[in-house]
Amino acid sequence: MLSSLGFQAEEITIGKMKRFKDILNEIGDRPMNINTFYLKSDGNLYAQAKDPKLDIDLKVNIEQEGFADPQKFVADFTVNDKNTQTGTGNEFLIFATVRKILDRWFDEYKDWKVLAFSSFKDKNDVNDSGRQKLYARFANNIAKKFNARVKRVEKNVETYYRIIR
């Protein structure tokens, strides 16, 4: 009888975890509508997504890193003209929208070797493992998709990611 109770408890736990994972996936699959997506032939991008009800103005700029190699790019994400954590509680919505914009850039622009971006740690959490894991997973997924590698460098409260193929 005890083993069957343990087994049932395990099944219930697994069921709850599956539902929790489904919820997280759904959160990530509901980005904001992209209002502007302007991709130039050289790969430079300006994209914007707004949600006036939530007071979110997300801008994504992808620009060539320099003149030496036109296949190296830097992505910059700002929300309400700030590139640090907003503290509004909309991080899943914002991150899903950034992911949607970058996925579209990757689909439409193929001539890149390096994409770099950075993230800031939560000021209230010294370790800030949640945000860092989210960005690291994102960078690793891009690298895996394009048979590339990720170089990660931490400096104070900012972490830099370079996806290199």
Do 75 and 46 lie in one domain? The reply is: yes
Residues 59 and 73 in one domain: yes
Same domain, 21 and 87: no
Residue with tokens 């891009």: 142
What is the DSSP code (8-state) at residue 150?
E
Query: What are residue 40's DSSP bridge partners?
Result: none
Residue type present at position 76:
D
This prediction has a pTM of 0.76
- 45 and 4 share one domain: no
* Whether residue 75 sits in one domain with residue 91: yes
Average pLDDT (121-139) is 72
125 and 136 in a single domain? The answer is yes
Which domain does 97 fall in, by range?
33-164
User: pLDDT at position 66, please?
Assistant: 76
In CATH, what number is assigned to the domain containing residue 148? Answer: 3.40.630
pLDDT of residue 28: 56
d(CA 106, CA 30): 19
Mean local confidence (pLDDT), 43-72: 91
Does 18 share its domain with 66?
no
Strand, helix or coil for residue 48: strand
The tally of domains found in the chain comes to 2
